[in-house]
Structure 1
Amino acid sequence: MGSDFIARADILERIYIENTVTSTRLSKAIGIDYKKIVSMFNILRDRYGVHVWVDILQSKLGLGLVLLILKGLRLKPPRDPRIWSEIAVRLPYPRSIAWTPTGELQMVFQSPLRTDVINVENVREFVAVSQKFDFVLRSKPLVELLNMFVDLEFRELVERGLDIAMEHRYRLDREYVLSPRKFDGLDLAILNVLEPHPEITLRRLTQEVNKALNREYSVASIEYHLDKHVENMILGYRVANYAPSYKLSETVSIVILSCRDPLDLCSRAISHPFIISCVGNSHNGVAAANICAPSEYQGSFTLRFIEKSQSYECSEALAHIQYLAIPPYMAAFAVPRPRPKGHVQAMDEARVEYDPRSRSWGAVIDVKHVIDILTNYLGF
């Protein structure tokens, strides 16, 4: 792509795991003028279609993931998209629902780390996969590989690019990645503004948070929360998505593996542009990579990744699933928030309300109940 792209991507690579937010504070941390930092984020997005976000660690919010793949259910997307919001308040912390090309349903729950999944055996004929994950790492592609991507050198990314990515490892503090953090409503409001706007200045952040909360926090107060709380809940920055012009596949592949060290595998895998995230269970050794490449390369890259992962103490794939990442075959939901009181008072799920400050914060995902809700709203 040339020196213009490389110069900006070099700055991005420097801050991938730099836990400093706002261009104001980042400028001081890495010794680069804040205007140059703002320009880097904006030009990567507007000129090259590379969208960078602040990388919030879900485990710091006390949240993990539960993956369910349901089979043999006669379900279809709702004609009225408003149905999704009704489903959302009746299920414990849904993150996304998507159909596979073969008609199975993939469900991801973004639930408390202390979540029990029950009644799987009672509906075993409908459950293809049930797996919990306690950490999520997201895309931080190396400059060399990101340059191949924007130059559309996709074949090179499948072959040499994967080797380069897997040989590189982000040196992450295991305890930091896996440990929840205490936080409050102001921290959440700050993160909500920050995440899609890494270029924001400290003063502008203060204005936006005050507008969102209808309060009058000072710049000093917001900076205190950044220093003491917010910057201890992130893992630097990530590439969140790419412009449609790159024509990535409308399906996403999930490869589930059994590994000696899922965190080691994921800290390597996220170096590649085609791997949008990698999740793991630090207790049972299961890892899962989410892969999205141009359609003609998706299959070959996925097979190469499965083969390559065996060099990093992983077994053959436990499962390989594809899901459709386009409406109406996919619906995504926000990070869990307290549900409307009217729903809570009338339903049993009140016991799983959002309470991250409680050491005993937990949830129960009753798979039979999940299937009943889905069948009621989406059955045909």
Structure 2
Amino acid sequence: MLRIMMLSWEYPPLLVGGLGRHVHALATTLVRAGHEVTVVTRHTPGTLLEEYAEGVRVVRAPDDPPGFEVVDGNPLAWAVAFNHTLTRSALRATRTGRYDVVHAHDWLVTHAAMTVSDHLDVPLVATVHATESGRHQGWLPEAHNHTIDDIERWLATGAARAIVCSAYMKREVGRLFGVNPDRTDVVFNGVDALRWRARPRAVAAARARYAGSGPLVSCAGRLVYEKGVQHLLSAVPELRDRFPGLRVVIAGDGPYRAELEDLAADHPEVTFAGFLDGHELTALMGASDCYVVPSIYEPFGMVALEAAAAGTPVAAADTGGLAEIVEHGVTGVKFAPNDPAALAWAAGSVLADREYARALALRAHERVHEDFNWPSIAARTVDVYELARIQDAGQVTREAESVLARIPSPTAAHSHS
């Protein structure tokens, strides 16, 4: 049994993107496996400062009185202030228990994670969910982008082990930060397949709300440039011409939404649904004839697996982690990123052949159960914790090698891909 402290800037009910859902699923699965988990995160109105939720001890850090706003897209002042209150809340949590490992999720908790790990004298494991360079396609336009890049480097190189969600990300953190590949572990994200199973009544309601006389295409995520929704919008005219009555629903919110709505001004078949909670999003996915993931940059692409769990055929950009989890013509169709014509062709191949679409969806659903279930993902994460503890104790011998052997490589895990 391990005692784990996780630090995350989002956790239910506060959900901004996929990170909060990931941390929640990992924490609750580890608890069910017999481990003790404390998650230290942000406080939001209407939540308790501390509670046990689904077996997880959740400690929420309230904002300090001085307000630090994000100005012109620069989150650094806010992030530093947040790390102060997060650190104090984490240190208070240590008064009532001992911990074996600290697990940091992304750069926004770096300062707190470094402080708490040093204070407790326990190893730090860091999950690098994405990079600032990757989010900006290798270009760091402002001074704060360079600083975020430096913080990510500090976290990745300062941790005992770095966890990444794909072989693509392992190469990225090695190239950008010089992290030794021997200290970087690929542990895929998991999906709770039952959680994303669409209920027939909810699917029918979503279909009645969003679909027209033709097929329904959907896309969901935080509305930022790198998610590539602009390319889906560019593909709409071709898809509309091929499939009369087509409807396209874009779920989510974010800083790029207004610009995307402007791009869609001449496309009445496009609906911006805003942020949908889990049940609403599952219903939308289940009601769709094709779910599109048009990302330019995607470290993993968990939303593609969530759509597969909902039973929906997926068309995904052939980039990043998506390229590893979608097998073209077997569990979905792939298209070149940044290419609206290729997107239209891929989505059209699904919409034009219902039997083909059904076969893709069935095999993808099976693959989710086989390779991306949370109990096995959590077990692999525990192996990383154990390896970090062994290394921290200076016992990098056969014991460490045996733990490494239990962490399957992406190639081994997907030898059938």
Normalised TM-score (structure 2):
0.24
- Structure richer in strand, relative to its length: 1
Give the helix-richer structure, 1 or 2.
Answer: 2
> Whose RCO is larger (CA < 8 A, sep 6+)?
1
